[in-house]
A and B are shown apart, each in its own frame.
Chain A
């Protein structure tokens, strides 16, 4: 494999190495876009229209800001440059399940409202009546569903009534009730209510149309600070075919012994049993399930319902340049990157959208998905030639993440086209993550005359992962040691690379090197000042150089 890759490299040696820069190469301003850059179109609005939903309004609208521009000396701040669009005062992000449907709520049947409240009162009056009430709820679930959902949305309803309603909801799951429960997990101030709501959502995983709760639960996963609420959000996610919460369950279960740790461990293994389809499971099964989720081998048992697709496309619209504030973008990146493999197709489609922001952030999402995003690899290969250098560079890194084994030919082919510096750096960084990257290619970049630090550092990262000869490795490490002591360039990046190398160094002196390296580091949670950081890097650089001198 390595030989084949090396042979494939022959025509590429000009892409990195002597002669790759300068001469009559690039003009001062390299034209944007690559050869054959594919056209873009309004994928986002077209898909939102198909799914019957609208874009979410941002808290701060970019359009509003554009309209309120000016403010240069001599200009009036009152004169908008574009059409004035009033900022919607009620434009806080709406909840995914409810907001995505766009359907007008139908009036409730007063009899069912009375019936619902009667059952709640009955169950509260004496716990022995709960079983009877639950039986009534199950028997009338279809008719009762709208009133149940409305009841869960009544903000003034006391927590004890909500908890009874949530027990009803768990017994008789339906799509509207699931949406209302998801809202509670996201918005209720009481963590026990949030935990209860997630608990009630567990059986809803089997219910048609309830899939949209996944995006809401993922949002909760980002912000939830209460351990019980987090455990049940992770469990509810798993019941809806999303295993993103397993890592959180595992972390809580591995913590100090406590009721929370025990609960997390129990739910963790419930998910493992359900996923592997048998009761007798061991740690290896758990690790296997986690690995399968990461690699994209575990997916939804059925196609994503339109409600879930709608909430996903609303999140994609949150990435748009029309949202000024990054916080919504950060949330969308977080949620989208934790979706299952099925979402790769939707994200791949969004890579054709005309909005640079959407395309760039979607590549970032895919990079974070890793191999779960493998289904978008063909779209990412095309995006290597995106008209925006930013997108093309990010696509290179995403491609290496989603298809680490198969990314190299496409990356090398793009490199052959002498892309702009930024894209080149990103490709080298991405190629360096591939186990089959040809070392001569990276060495060519590393040794290129006048190569900027970022390019050499990208090449060095890959080189330290290949089977380099001692002489070549010493050359790279000595340069990194020198870079660590420079005031400019990327001393911190060089330190991080060497740190990763030190962690793995074998042979004589490895343990001593690691101990001495660690001695220079900050103690406990201390954060070094800039001066301390410089001293740390200088000390570590000298340590590395001494190690290289003695051991080689």
Chain B
């Protein structure tokens, strides 16, 4: 009888302790799904991460209006490879991605990065009791998780030429930081990048001055990009615009530049041309590089206002028609660009 009681006590104690150790996440869904068919299956247990991801450009990679228009609603199937890729652990870390036939609308989703070929999930820890049976896969931190898509534009190659690579500071350090700065609370899954103007601002510095001869100039430097600025071929661009400093220079409008003032004039474009644009030179600003541009114009004798803007498309669309305009026909770049930095240079 004592032996039976002892066994019962032991069983109760083991159940009690396992319940203590187990997290609410694990007990929320006790049964492994028959098949992983949607990232929505992850939501029940990982709502915070799911919500972060759902607001990210990765979640929007299939629904993004710009992409849908440019790909003719994905009738151009070449776009599917990166916009709805197969699980990375299936195709192989660092290998070129392949397109999937199912759940395309979920874009670059939970399963893309976490689903393992055996149906388990790559995670930080082993936990066979959880519904998704996470398995420790340190590769999740590697740049090769991102390179299948992002190195198509040589972003990882650019990064490898920086001191960040020497110090093993990979994509995660900037684009998936820890929520509270420590591993304890996990990493943000919004994965901020070029869609987050604050992050773009942190990548470059922008300063203006006037030399001894009175010629104004601006210097842009890639100090924290971690790769070239901007890192993309074709779509991304960063332009420098200037104009004589308006009288009401102290009052800024909603774009962040002086209210009023005249037309903006184009000074410089930073962009990697698409492969068939053979007459255009690549002007990417590599990490650690600074570039000084002088404004040699009679109108620049007085004060000047200079703006660095960031674009997710290479052209400026007419706000009324959406039709792309030639750059010299643009007078207000802020109709189709975001301000990164603004400087003013005092009159001579």
Chain A interface (Cβ < 8 Å from any Cβ of B):
21-22, 25-30, 32, 60, 62, 65-66, 68-69, 71-75, 77, 189, 223, 225, 321, 323-327, 329-330, 333, 356-357, 360, 364, 367-368, 390, 393-394, 397, 420-423, 425-426, 429, 452-455, 487-493, 496, 522-530, 532-533
Contacts and interface: CB of A to CB of B under 8 A. Distances in A.
A533 B119 CA distance: 35
A390 B34 contact: no
A529 B65 CA distance: 7
Nearest to A24: B34
B33 interface: yes
A488 B152 contact: no
B107 to A, nearest CB: 10
A21 B34 CA distance: 8
29 contacts: A21-B34, A27-B119, A28-B119, A29-B117, A29-B119, A65-B147, A68-B160, A69-B93, A71-B142, A71-B144, A71-B170, A72-B139, A72-B141, A73-B141, A77-B166, A223-B276, A321-B95, A326-B96, A326-B152, A368-B77, A429-B101, A489-B105, A491-B105, A523-B321, A525-B323, A526-B322, A529-B65, A530-B60, A533-B65
A375 to B, nearest CB: 21
Contact of B37 (A65, A223, A421, A522): A421
Contact of B322 (A72, A73, A524): A524
Contacts of B2: none
Interface in B76-101: 77-78, 81-82, 86, 93-96, 98-101
A373 to B, nearest CB: 15
B165 A323 contact: no
B62 A492 contact: yes
B105 A189 contact: no
B4 interface: no
Given A69-B142, A323-B96, 11 more contacts: A26-B35, A30-B119, A73-B168, A330-B78, A360-B99, A429-B101, A488-B106, A493-B104, A526-B321, A532-B65, A533-B65
Contacts of B73: 492, 496
Contacts of B152: 324-327
Contacts of B129: none
B104 A454 contact: yes
A452 B103 CA distance: 8
B330 interface: no
A420 B138 CA distance: 28
Contacts of A330: 78
Contact of B105 (A420, A429, A454): A454
Contacts, number: 172
The residue in A368, A488, A530 that gathers the most chain B C-beta atoms within 10 A of its C-beta is: A488
A422 B94 contact: no
Contacts of A74: 168
B315 to A, nearest CB: 11
User: Chain B contact residues: over half helix, strand or loop, or mixed?
Assistant: loop
Contact of A528 (B32, B65, B103, B120): B65
Contacts of B291: none
A490 B105 contact: yes
Interface of B: 32-35, 37-38, 40, 54, 60, 62-66, 68-69, 73, 77-78, 81-82, 86, 93-96, 98-106, 117-120, 133, 138-139, 141-144, 147, 151-152, 154, 157, 160, 165-166, 168, 170, 275-276, 278, 317, 321-324
Nearest to A327: B275
Contacts of A368: 77
A522 B322 contact: yes
A527 B165 contact: no
B111 to A, nearest CB: 11
Contacts of A393: 100-102
A83 B64 CA distance: 41
A394 B100 CA distance: 8
A535 to B, nearest CB: 12
Contacts of A455: 102
B322 A527 contact: yes
Nearest to B154: A60
A140 B272 CA distance: 48
Given A71-B142, A74-B168, A493 B33 contact: no
